[in-house]
Structure 1
Amino acid sequence: MHARIAAAACTAFLAAGASAQSSVTVFGAIDLAIAHYKGEGTGSKTHLVPGGNQNNRIGVRGREDLGGGLYAWFELEAGYSPDTGTGLNSNNNNQETGLVNTGGALTFNRRSLVAIGGGWGELRFGRDYVPSFWPLYIYDPFRTGVGFGGVTILGSTVTNLRASNSIGYFTPGCDPYLCRGLFAQVMIAFGENPSGTPQEDNGKVAGLRVGYATPTWEASIAQSRTRNDTVREFTQTSGGGAVEAGFARLMVLAGENRTGRPVAALNNGTRAPFWQLGALVYAGAGYVPIAYTRVSRNDPQDSHATKLAFGYVYNLSKRTALYTTYAHIENRNALALPVNVGADAGPAPLPGRSASGWDVGVRHTF
């Protein structure tokens, strides 16, 4: 029972399932919460927040068996904001200049890929998750910053989760989302700039992930690097592990975001190491996610922040859940991180001050 709850918590977005199939499936999630965020010295805000427990998405996936052990599959996945009914932006070249803004129309910004595989492994082509995304997702009880989890990003937000124009290879034992046994993932992606120009390498991405996973424990480490004209090179390193302990799924996560030159907007820092201790504590028909995170930055003030987040998710069914979360973050020196992440982060506090917040919401997957 506990293992099933953990699997549902960590991979709720699978919705209709990712098992082998010869048909096309529509899947998605809709999640909205009432949230109240406060930043010390800057006020508070009460608003409707999309994706408090599960990022909102709608997609289509399918698989065909080709015979002889070969298969092909595809996935098209679009993110959207259900509080406004608008789609989210994408990126076409892994650079700041590549923002695709459609005025709120749907884009397949989350995933857009086709794959072919067999006993030798699997090749994927298109827009997909970078290798360093997976430890951040799997070993964070709040799943890469959904709701109140997550860690700060230094230097780039263009390829910290996904890359466009990518080619990826996965060793045998990996399905569209999960890997088992000894596994590895390699990715390269292209900025698609003309050769012979100063910007020809901008947007190029290279990444590697290696790990070992069983149904009861797993561990992995990954790194992704992106050429970037502004910061020279953005490097994201992440790793960690998780183990089923009967009463909970225990997790540890650590990593670093690094830039090749100081970033003025980030107080001239170049490195942001972080670590997190987390757990999904089983509680009846639901679970309690809890995480303690520390992130630092090598700016002139040696700034750092700590964050405590916890909540409760109650599963009304396999597809529908109610949830609530509270979080508090203590910033020191030049850091001014808000309590949440993304467009709905709420008021950022004054540098060196605290932020806090809570939400109550409902999530449904299909």
Structure 2
Amino acid sequence: MKRFLMGSALALAGGGAAHAQSSVTVFGVVDLGVQYTKGEGGGSVKALSNGGLSTSRLGFRGTEDLGGGLRAGFWLEGSLNPDTGTGRPSNSNNQASGAGTAGPIAFDRMSFVSLSHQKFGELRLGRDFIPTHYNSIYFDPFNANGVARAGNLTFAGAGTGPLPTGITGSNTASYWLPAGLGGFYGMAMIGTGENDSTAPNRDDGNFAGARFGFASGAFDIAAAVTRTHFNATAAIGNYTHANIGGSWDAGFAKFFALYNKVTVKLAAGTVRKNTAEIGAHIPAFEVGRIRVSYAYLDDRSDESLRNANGMPRNRDDARQFGIGYVHNLSKRTALYGTYARLMNGGQARYVVSGGVAPAGGRRSSGWEFGVRHLF
């Protein structure tokens, strides 16, 4: 990371009257690999993969000490596609109508301004990850990245992919508890779709959520929930995502568990999906770790929701197994390899990240080998 101290510039701008210390940090990740994925009945793809270990990104963050324990700050962080030299799209209003397209760099991950106090916590205004996604990051052995990420199943909303507020939210205000609460931590967030009050969908994209947890020594556990309003259609409706996860570092291995419950109230009935995952990190060769996980999705949707062949969607269950190895060449550079196999039931068409969707009820699999560098 490269740090630029701004105090002298502030002093010049303020004629020597600046009293606060400010700093700006430029940071990022470049993560690329080779990948092969196959969807039975749907073909296969050989590709240069992106973000198999950590999401490629470019970011800027800064803070200013205002005195008395009060600090101002900002955070701008955008996903990168270094294989093509582009950025990833953002979403302006938490709805399908606000979806952008890949192209110039957009700060799709985080873009907020903040005020914080060491005793009273932090207030953020802008774009951020939603509460439930923080559990996906911390309690998935694959950190919500790569072909074996739990998100291949847990991100599923009405279909096999995430809804607009499944990962990040725009136009948000959030409050974060201060550190030093004896291991307790948490945050609450609201967001708005910013629709005209006279529009039929005036509440679409509005959401609220919270996450609270406790960490002490080797243990960490947290629960979260987020609820988004959408007028009910065949593809979207009021969306509730709740999860609970935890980790335990036993020394010889670090264990993870994550349980997700998703509900989407469509016009024709309610989608209900419960997903459980367990996994571990196992130290290896002094500078490496083996990563393993197993996840199961249980679809409990209403009988009124049917697939194209008439089969009830509540038979569309899925299982996924993932295994990988990370070898640290230094504190900033690592080599990695991952394999994932996803078994669909019924007419489910869940797919490993970056893969081709299989035929209904068929398998999806993939492997990737890559290098990640932090700066």
TM over 0.5: yes
Q: 1:188-337 to 2 correspondence within 5 Å?
A: 188-229=190-231, 230=233, 231-261=236-266, 270-283=271-284, 284-299=286-301, 300-301=312-313, 302-337=315-350
Is 1:160 aligned to 2:166, yes or no?
Answer: yes
Task: Return the letter of the residue paired with 1:164.
Answer: S
Give distance in 2, aligned partners of 1:339 and 1:140.
Answer: 15
1:22 CA displacement: 3.6
2:229 alignment partner, SS class:
strand
Task: Return the letter of the residue paired with 1:216.
Answer: A
Residue 69 of structure 1 corresponds to 69
1:86 CA displacement: 0.7
Q: 1:14-25 to 2 correspondence within 5 Å?
A: 22-25=22-25
Give distance in 2, aligned partners of 1:43 and 1:233.
Answer: 34
Deviation beyond 4 Å, 4+ runs, structure 1: none
Task: Return the letter of the residue paired with 2:373.
Answer: H
1:97 CA displacement: 0.5
1:195 alignment partner, SS class:
coil
Question: Cα deviations across residues 186-232 of structure 1 (Å, max 9, x unaligned)?
Answer: 10011111113211111101001111112421101000011123423
1:180 CA displacement: 7.1
Checking the alignment, whether the CA contact within 8 Å between 1:51 and 1:147 is kept in structure 2 is no
1:278 CA displacement: 0.9
Give distance in 2, aligned partners of 1:65 and 1:199.
Answer: 42
Provide structure 1 residue ranges, at least 5 long, that are not aligned to the other structure. Answer: 1-14
1:28 CA displacement: 0.3
Residue 116 of structure 1 corresponds to 115
**Could you say what the CA RMSD is over the residues aligned between the two structures, in angstroms?**
1.9
Percent of residue pairs bearing the same amino acid type: 39
Provide structure 2 residue ranges, at least 5 long, that are not aligned to the other structure. Answer: 4-20, 302-311
1:260 CA displacement: 1.3
Give distance in 1, aligned partners of 2:325 and 2:193.
Answer: 41
Task: Return the letter of the residue paired with 1:236.
Answer: H
Residue 183 of structure 1 corresponds to 185
Give distance in 1, aligned partners of 2:96 and 2:37.
Answer: 29
Checking the alignment, whether the CA contact within 8 Å between 2:39 and 2:356 is kept in structure 1 is yes
Greater Rg, structure 1 or structure 2? Answer: 2
Moved more, 26-35 or 141-150: 141-150
1:134 alignment partner, SS class:
helix
Residue 366 of structure 2 corresponds to 357
Give distance in 1, aligned partners of 2:237 and 2:147.
Answer: 31
Give distance in 2, aligned partners of 1:354 and 1:116.
Answer: 48
1:23 alignment partner, SS class:
strand
Give distance in 2, aligned partners of 1:201 and 1:287.
Answer: 46
Give distance in 1, aligned partners of 2:97 and 2:107.
Answer: 18
Give distance in 2, aligned partners of 1:127 and 1:232.
Answer: 22
1:135 alignment partner, SS class:
helix
Question: Cα deviations across residues 63-96 of structure 1 (Å, max 9, x unaligned)?
Answer: 1111111111111011110110011111111111
1:137 alignment partner, SS class:
helix
1:350 CA displacement: 1.1
Give distance in 2, aligned partners of 1:291 and 1:184.
Answer: 26
Residue 4 of structure 1 corresponds to none
Residue 134 of structure 1 corresponds to 134
Residue 9 of structure 1 corresponds to none
Task: Return the letter of the residue paired with 2:277.
Answer: Q
2:131 alignment partner, SS class:
coil
Give distance in 2, aligned partners of 1:147 and 1:30.
Answer: 17
Give distance in 1, aligned partners of 2:135 and 2:108.
Answer: 20
Give distance in 1, aligned partners of 2:216 and 2:22.
Answer: 27
2:338 alignment partner, SS class:
strand
1:269 CA displacement: 6.0
Moved more, 25-34 or 140-149: 140-149
Work out which of the residue numbers 160, 166, 177 in structure 2 matches 1:171: 177
Residue 104 of structure 2 corresponds to 105
Give distance in 1, aligned partners of 2:364 and 2:254.
Answer: 28
1:146 CA displacement: 3.3
**How many positions carry a matched residue from both structures?**
336
Give distance in 2, aligned partners of 1:52 and 1:106.
Answer: 20
Q: 1:49-60 to 2 correspondence within 5 Å?
A: 49-60=49-60
Moved more, 195-204 or 151-160: 151-160
| TM-score in terms of structure 2 length | 0.86
Distance 1:180 1:272, change over 3 A: farther
Distance 1:228 1:129, change over 3 A: same
Checking the alignment, whether the CA contact within 8 Å between 1:89 and 1:99 is kept in structure 2 is yes
